[in-house]
Amino acid sequence: MPSSGQRTGIANLPLHYGKVPPWLFGRMSQLAREITVVIVDEFGAEEMLRRLSDPFWFQAFGCVLGYDWHSSGVTTTVCGALKEGMRGLERELGLFVAGGKGRTSRKTPVEIENFGHLLKVHPSPLVYASRMSAKVDNSALQDGYQLYHHSFFFTRDGSWAVVQQGMNEINRYARRYHWLGEKVIDFVCEPEAAICSQARGEALNLVASESTQARNIIAHLAAEEKPEKIVSQLKKLKTLDLPCRHYLNPIDIHPDRLNKIFLSTYERKPQGFESLLALEGVGPKTLRALSLISELVYDAPISLRDPARYSFAHGGKDGHPYPVDRKAYDSSIQFLAQAVDKARIGSREKLDAFKRLKAWQ
C-alpha cells in the first residue's frame, strides 16, 4: 500500500517572471542549509516536513531567506535553495529533496529512486505519492492552475511532503499546494487541511467530500460501462439545452476523442476512483466527461467548491474575507527566529535575517 498523504495547503501568489541573482541564491542556499540542520538536529527530519507543509511557515521561511514574501517566485526559489543547500548532507540528516521547476519536476521519480540505497523503505511508495499528489492537483482538482513546479521532500523512513505550484496566465497568479504524508488516509477525499490563497472561485473539485457519490459513479462508469455507451451518453448530452457551468460544459466535451481512453479504462478495470486517477492517460478531459455523466445522467453532483481557505493578500488587517491567523504567523516567526539564532552563520547574516522576520510581523 502506498503511503498515506494529506494536502495541507494552497497559496495563491502574484505571477512574477525572472531569475534570482546568483549572489542572492547562494546566500539563500547557505541560510536554508543552516536552518534545516538546526531543525533536524533538534526536532528530527519529520518536523522539517511538517514545517514545509505549513503555508504560513513556508512564507516566513522565504522571508527570512531574503525573498519577496508575496511573489510566486518564493516557491520555486525557496525549494531550489533548499535542494542546493542540502546537497551532500542527505546521508547525515536523513532528509532528501527531489524535483523542482519545469523539466526538473519530471525527473522526480528517478531522483527518488537514486536515493534508494540510503532509505529504510522501498522507494516505490514515495514515487507513487509524488505522482498522485501531482495528479490530484492537476486533474482531480481543476481550479485553472497548471502545475509547473513539483518538489518532493522525504526522509529515510518514508515520511514525505510536497510543495508544488500551478500557473494561471489569465488572472496572472500562481497557486501553491502543500502536502504532508503522515495524516491522510485517502488521496482523493478532502486531502487539504490548511490552504492559503489570494484568488478564489469555482473549481471542479472531485476530491471534496460532497463529490463522494460522484467519485463512485465515475469509477464505475470507467470500469464497467462499455466505451460506446459512454460516448453515446456524451453525444446525447451535447444535444440537450443544458445550463452552462464553467467546469462542466457539454460544449467542451468531444466524445469521439475520448473513446480510446474509455476503452483503456474498461479493459483495465480500475478498483475505485484513486485507481482510475492513477491510470496513465486519465487526465482533466476524461474526468470532466465522466463528471458530466455523473451529474446529469445519474444525478450525482460534483462539488465546485474552491478548497482555498487562507489568503495572504486579502486575509489581512481589515479582516476580509477573514482575519489573519495571528497565532499561526507568530508561531512560525518565533520558531524560525530560534533556528536562525542557533544557526552557524555570521552575525551580519543573523542580524539581516532577524530584520526580515521583524518586518514580516
Residue with grid cell 507513487, as numbered in its chain: 128
| Residue 319 predicted with pLDDT over 60 | no
Residue 185 CA to residue 188 CA, distance in Å, equals: 9
Question: Packing angle between helix 255-268 and helix 212-224, nearest 10 degrees?
Answer: 80
Of 332, 360, 359, nearest to 35 by C-alpha is 332
Q: In what order do the strands lie in the sheet with 141-142?
A: 141-142, 202-205, 303-305
Task: State residue 317's pLDDT score.
Answer: 36
Q: pLDDT tens digits for 300-317? A: 999 998 887 655 543 333
Residue 218 CA to residue 287 CA, distance in Å, equals: 8
Task: State residue 175's pLDDT score.
Answer: 87
pTM of the model: 0.86
b vs e for 328-337, b when ≥16 Cβ sit within 10 Å of the residue's Cβ? bbeebbebbb
Selected residue with higher pLDDT from 243 and 323: 243
What percent of the chain is modeled with pLDDT above 90? 52
Cβ–Cβ under 8 Å, residues 115 and 61: no
- The mean pLDDT value for 209-215 works out to 96
Question: How many Å separate Cα 307 from the centre of its chain?
Answer: 12
Q: pLDDT tens digits for 156-190? A: 999 999 999 998 888 877 888 999 999 878 999 98
- The pLDDT-based confidence of 340 (bands split at 50, 70, 90) is confident
- Radius of gyration for the chain, computed over Cα atoms and rounded to the nearest angstrom: 21
Q: pLDDT tens digits for 96-136? A: 999 999 999 999 999 999 999 999 999 999 999 999 999 99
Cβ–Cβ under 8 Å, residues 55 and 177: no
Residue 124 CA to residue 140 CA, distance in Å, equals: 22
Task: Write down the mean pLDDT value for the chain.
Answer: 84
- The pLDDT-based confidence of 9 (bands split at 50, 70, 90) is low
Q: pLDDT tens digits for 23-76? A: 778 888 989 999 999 999 999 999 999 999 988 888 888 888 876 545 567 889
Task: State residue 89's pLDDT score.
Answer: 95
Amino acid symbol at 3: S
| Half-sphere exposure (Cβ direction) of 48: Cα atoms closer than 13 Å | 28
